[in-house]
Every structure is written in C-alpha cells, then in structure tokens.
Amino acid sequence: MTVSRVLNEHAGVKASTRARVLAAVAELGYRPNSMARALVTGRSRVLGVVGFDTRLYGPATTLFGIEQAARDAGYTVRVTTLESTGQNSGEEVMRDLMSESLAGVILAAPHDWAAGALPHLTKGTPVVVVDVDIEQESAPVVGIAQHAGARQATEHLLSLGHRTVWHVAGPVDWPSAQARETAWRTTLTEAGRKAPAPLRGDWTARSGYEQGRRLVRRKDVTAVFAANDQMALGVLLALREAGLDVPGDVSLVGFDDIPEAAYFWPPLTTVRQDFDEAGRLALDLLVDQIEGAGVRDGLTVVEPELVVRASTGPAARN
C-alpha cells in the first residue's frame, strides 16, 4: 500500500498523496505494527543487549549509554542481564536471543563469558562486543584502554617516589581486571621494581576492606593501586582503622572514577573511564553494520584518563 511507502520514506509518492497519508495517520493515531514488519522483513528494529551484573556502576552506565544512543537511532533495546558465569550458558542465552529476529546484538558482558557465547550466534548477525579481548577477532570490539589507565596509575605512584606499588586486583574471570593487573605488573617491572603478589578482590568495597586489612599488617606498604573505586574505598577504611593517614602514610589510587570518588575522604585519585561513551560507540558500530555501512573490524578504543585528587602524595614513610 502507499501508506507503507510514505512511512518508510520510499521514493515515488506524489507530495500531495504523502500529505494526505500523513494527515490520515495523524488523525487515526495509526502506528505501524512492528511485529508484522519484523515478520515480513526478517529484521526488526530491536537490538539484543547482554549485560553482566548491571547493578554495578560501570555496566549500568554502559547500558544506559547504549539505550540512549539506540533510541536516538530509532532502535529499541531488549536486555538480558547475567549475574554470574555459571547461571546461563552462552549457548542457551544466544539461542533465546536468536529466536527473536533481532537486528543485532551487543555483548556488554565484560567477561570471559562473552568470548564463549560469541560462536553461538547465528552466522551473519551483526554483533559488537564491549570491553572484552576476544582472541580471534570475530567481531568488532569496543574497549577501554585498561592497560593505558593502569599504567598511568602505577607510573603516577612511582613518580611520587614510592618504591613499589601494591595491587588489589579484580576477579580473574574479568578481562578488564586481568588487563589492569598485567599493566600494573609490566609497569613495575619496566621500572626495575619488584611487583608484590596481587591481592584478589571481587570489585566490592567489602573485598577491598578485607584485602586492606591484610595490607596494613605489613609495614612496607606506601602505595596501593586498587582495580576499582569501590575496593579503594574499602582499603581506605582499613587504613583509617589502622591509624594510617592517606596520603601521608599510604597513597591510594582507584579505577573508574565513579561519581562518588571525588567525595571520598580524602577525594580519590583514580582513572576515569567513560562507560557512557563506550556504550554509545558500541551502538554506532552496530548500527553501521546493520545498515550496511560495513563492518569496521578490530578494536575501537576509549582512552581513560588519570584524575589526580588528594589520596596520593609523595612517599614519606619508610
């Protein structure tokens, strides 16, 4: 029908006819049925997004960025959130996704999980991965340059005169945690310093506190780099309880720059990640694929930025 042509902005409709159609549409409050459209075209304007523990600030913000950008681009977002790795196999989740004729998929699970799930997508489905190092680059990846950020954090502490830097790391199965840890170790080694054994946390302030209590038992700790701001907060509390001053006795750097970090006591030196931007970028890449502008393969990188506040200072103690 001519209505379809008008609404899809196909050429070959007289201006006067278009006007009449639009008038009727407005009068009747007509909205095209997206199901019928998806059925016949085989493609919907719905994007699948798989997120991982979206209660956390980073994932939540990325999701937010994706959703906002999707709406601007005329797409709709269907979200699946995973809480833990074991919970749902990649195969199962992907098969569920595939039966919904989605226009494309964003894997925003900053987790090894994503790498395992990727092969189960039906061939040809546009896909973008956020924040994971996929070995075989079978999909475009948007990542934040974790290495660069962790390097800046570590170098900042070294430049203040600290002999070495302790690290409270994130969970082993999160690639971003791995990247931060590796970069921290490399930076120390390159500077000719010995990297102490990292302390393993799980992103929560609680785990940061627990590892912080282990740190204060040693007398030689003057600089700590925590893999995220929440863990840094926990470390901060442990240091305080042990009567240590920050940054007088110990300097501390976090990662993420959550909105609260500037209001910690002392305000936290940290590495800002633009999660929002990563989400928007991922969406742009996906839409390019869907609308035929071609697959821009490889890695798109968002640069993090060291934000120096009051939790770091020159090495004094020791």
Partner DNA sequence: GCGCTGGACGTTAACGTTAACAAGAGCTCC
Partner DNA sequence: GGAGCTCTTGTTAACGTTAACGTCCAGCGC
| 1 vs 197, beta carbon nearer DNA | 1
Q: Which stretch binds DNA (CB under 7 A): 10-18, 81-89, 244-252, 304-312?
A: 10-18
What is the size of the binding site for a second copy (CB under 8 A)?
53
Span 195-224, contacts to a second copy by CB under 8 A = 204-206, 208-209
260 binds a second copy (CB under 8 A): yes
91 binds a second copy (CB under 8 A): no
- Cα Dmax for the chain: 84
Span 35-54, contacts to DNA by CB under 7 A = 36-37, 39-42
Distances (CA, A) of 172 to 55, 198, 301: 19, 11, 22
> Is residue 201 a contact partner of residue 168, using CB atoms and an 8 Å limit?
yes
- Reported as type and span, the H/E element at residue 152 is helix 146-159
28 binds DNA (CB under 7 A): no
Among a second copy, DNA, none, what does residue 55 contact (CB within 5–8 Å per kind)? a second copy
Distance (Å, rounded) from C-alpha 304 to C-alpha 137? Answer: 22
Among a second copy, DNA, none, what does residue 145 contact (CB within 5–8 Å per kind)? none
Residue the block writes with tokens 């379809």: 4
Q: Which stretch binds DNA (CB under 7 A): 2-10, 73-81, 195-203, 237-245?
A: 2-10
DSSP character at residue 75: -
Distance (Å, rounded) from C-alpha 231 to C-alpha 181? Answer: 14
Can you tell me which of 8, 12, 26, 31 binds a second copy, judged by CB under 8 A? 31
Q: Hey, what amino acid is at 185?
A: R
Long-range contacts of 11-18 (CB under 8 A, 24+ apart): none
Can you tell me which of 18, 25, 76, 196 binds a second copy, judged by CB under 8 A? 76
Tell me whether strands 299-302 and 305-307 are parallel, antiparallel or unpaired. Answer: unpaired
78 binds a second copy (CB under 8 A): yes
The distance of Cα 140 from the centroid of its chain, to the nearest Å, equals 15
Tell me whether strands 141-144 and 104-108 are parallel, antiparallel or unpaired. Answer: unpaired
Residue 20: Cβ within 10 Å count:
13
> Is residue 172 a contact partner of residue 178, using CB atoms and an 8 Å limit?
yes
CB of 151 to a second copy, least distance (A): 27
Site string for a second copy, 161-200 (x = CB under 8 A): ----------------------------------------
3-state helix, strand, coil in the chain (%, to 5): 45, 15, 40
Q: Which stretch binds DNA (CB under 7 A): 31-39, 46-54, 56-64, 89-97?
A: 31-39
> Which residues are at the interface with DNA (CB under 7 A)?
1-5, 7-8, 10-14, 16-17, 31-33, 36-37, 39-42
> Which residues are at the interface with a second copy (CB under 8 A)?
29, 31-36, 38-39, 44, 46, 53-55, 57, 60-61, 63-64, 67-68, 71, 76-81, 83, 95-96, 98-101, 204-206, 208-209, 230, 233-234, 236-237, 240, 259-260, 262-265, 267
